[in-house]
Amino acid sequence: MRKLIVGSRRSKLALTQSKQFIEQLKSVSEGLEVEIKEIVTKGDQIVDRQLSKVGGKGLFVKEIEQALYNHEIDLAIHSLKDVPSVMPEGLTLGCIPDRENPFDAYIAIDHVPLDELKPGSIVGTSSLRRGAQILAKYPHLEIKWIRGNIDTRLQKLQDEDYDAIILAAAGLKRMGWPSDMVTTYLQPDTLIPAIGQGALGIECRSDDTELLELLQKVHNASVERCVTSERTFLKEMDGSCSVPIGGYATEDDEGTITFTGLIMTPDGKERYECTKEGTDPVALGKAVSDELKSQGAYEIIKNLNENQ
């Protein structure tokens, strides 16, 4: 196998998960030589505004995809939730490895449980999806925007007026933070995860057969089926970072996938949710999308996208 050039964002988390995946590759390809090329994306450059305010799909991937087209890199290691549901022509997800914890981690001062926070308590998150679901269940709380890497957000929890923050559990685990710092991992009955949360998407050129063959050795077919149903739902609903949208799928030992899709208004006052089962992930994602559209959920997305 030739020497591989891996494209990665420059953030600590991106570089850490890239190195972890590279070790997986090396475990199945003895003597494999790999180099990481750091790439700054538009999403990395915008640190003073909510991502939902700057709009657009692929804020964290477009520059990396251009490097793939230019043959400057051979593959890119993305957090799958950052990857748009429609892949650019000539590029593909060569594999989806094992999924990390897909849930959201709730971290509170003095470990006060979410349902015990006093009225007016401030919960920090930069995610419309998280904010909408928290407000729907706990309307007496206040959501306050927070950006920055994991270290920055944890420091802001200590130094500023936040009572709690919510982060993706996968990022915390990949960065080696101890689980006892987490007050609780929020289950889907409280907070449905982002599409693809906890999963990685390994992107490469569609015609790179040698690399595609190697990537299949670390591919998890069950995870792929689950995230395919989630990403199909995202595509069918025309979801973006300006829309509170969530989705989570699991697969049992018999191959039946259970998928829940969610659409909400940012204030948490309107909620559309549907759960269905099936064995075809694409058909399942479409079925949940069709059901929510029939209930009127697409009007929320249409209005939010038009006002973006």
Q: Where in the sequence numbering do the catalytic residues fall?
A: 82
Tokens of 104: 């959201």
Tell me how far apart the alpha carbons of residues 74 and 255 are, in angstroms, rounded to a whole number: 33
Burial (CB count <10 Å: 0-12, 13-18, 19+), residue 140: exposed
CB 173 within 8 Å of CB 17: no
Cα separations in angstroms, 226 against 99, 169, 247, 282: 10, 18, 10, 10
Query: Which amino acid, 9?
Result: R
Name the residue among 113, 44, 179, 197 with its Cα closest to residue 123: 113
Residue 138 phi, psi dihedral angles, 5° rounding? -135, 70
Name the residue among 146, 197, 201 with its Cα closest to residue 172: 197
Tell me how far apart the alpha carbons of residues 9 and 168 are, in angstroms, rounded to a whole number: 18
Report the relative pairing of strands 4-9 and 34-39 from DSSP bridges: parallel
Tokens of 125: 């998150």
Using N-to-C axis directions, what is the helix angle for 150-159 and 12-28, rounded to 10°?
140
Name the residue among 190, 281, 300 with its Cα closest to residue 237: 300
Tell me how far apart the alpha carbons of residues 88 and 143 are, in angstroms, rounded to a whole number: 35
Tell me how far apart the alpha carbons of residues 192 and 185 are, in angstroms, rounded to a whole number: 11
